[in-house]
Amino acid sequence: MDGLHREVRKLCIGWPWEPPSMWSIVLENYLSLQRPENSFWVRGTGWCPARRHIDICEKAIIGGASHILIIGADQIHPVDMIPRLIDRVEQDGCDVISSTLSMSRGIISTGWI
């Protein structure tokens, strides 16, 4: 860490999916997420996942975002996820925070772990 204080002045929150790839429960989860007043939502559009991610970034730049958060539509997020991520940027000085969720089809028994 270089000791710099990073302020999230304007946050663009984007998702690179669209119906029918999204479930209603995901949209309900998005509506319940805690987020700062200085944030705005965009939907990434395009013919492939890469194009949809690029579209989110382009919309973030046009909207004057200082930071971009791309969230998946294939999982349910903790309602306090966004404030926690912002805290990592502002207090811990993280430049990039990246995470993936490995998906599993079917049921995993507890004996598997």
* Average confidence (pLDDT) per 10 residues, the chain, 113 residues: 70 83 79 93 91 94 94 85 90 74 52 48
For residue 27, tell me if it sits in a domain. yes
Q: What is the pLDDT of residue 51?
A: 92
For residue 102, tell me if it sits in a domain. no
For residue 37, tell me if it sits in a domain. yes
Distance linking the first and last C-alpha atoms of the chain = 35
**At 3, which helix (H) or strand (E)?**
none
Q: What is the pLDDT of residue 1?
A: 45
Strands, E, within 49-100: which ranges?
67-70
- The DSSP 8-state label assigned to residue 107 in this structure reads -
For residue 35, tell me if it sits in a domain. yes
Number of domains in the chain: 1
* Separation between Cα atoms, residue 105 and residue 108, nearest integer Å: 8
Q: 35: domain range?
A: 17-72+82-97
pTM of the model: 0.78
- Which string of b and e fits 20-48 if b means at least 16 CB within 10 Å? eeeeeebeebbeebebeeebeebebeeee
Amino acid at 38: N
For residue 113, tell me if it sits in a domain. no
For residue 6, tell me if it sits in a domain. no
Neighbours of 93 (CB within 10 A): 13
Q: What is the pLDDT of residue 48?
A: 87
For residue 112, tell me if it sits in a domain. no
For residue 92, tell me if it sits in a domain. yes
Q: What is the pLDDT of residue 56?
A: 94
